[in-house]
Amino acid sequence: MSEVKLKPCAKCGGEGKLTVELPDKEVLMVVGELPQDRWCYVDCQKCYYGTNIFNTPEEAVEAWNRLDEVLCVRPKNEQE
């Protein structure tokens, strides 16, 4: 799993980017070989539209491509 296909952003058509974050280290890296504890998400490089946080990159990509579990990751004003 070296390459992932991301659809364009549902909101602005911008580029989606998969991010894998290691919570204890605050390390950002692209998909590769990864340890267990991690947060995976996809967000738009333009409008900050993004997915929820998942355990695996595959789930994050799937959610992004499905476009039904995406949300705005930039807190606007405490939505609902």
Note whether 11 binds Zn ion by CB under 5 A.
yes
C-alpha closest to that of 2 among 38, 33, 29: 33
Note whether 17 binds Zn ion by CB under 5 A.
no
**Residue 42: strand pairing partners:** 18
Q: Which of 9, 18, 40, 60 binds Zn ion (CB under 5 A)?
A: 9
Furthest CA-CA distance within the chain: 37
C-beta of 47 vs 73, nearer to Zn ion: 47
Note whether 70 binds Zn ion by CB under 5 A.
no
Q: Are 56 and 39 in contact (CB under 8 A)?
A: no
Q: Which stretch binds Zn ion (CB under 5 A): 19-27, 28-36, 37-45, 67-75?
A: 37-45
C-beta of 22 vs 52, nearer to Zn ion: 52
Cα angle at 24 between 51 and 26, to 5 degrees?
A: 60
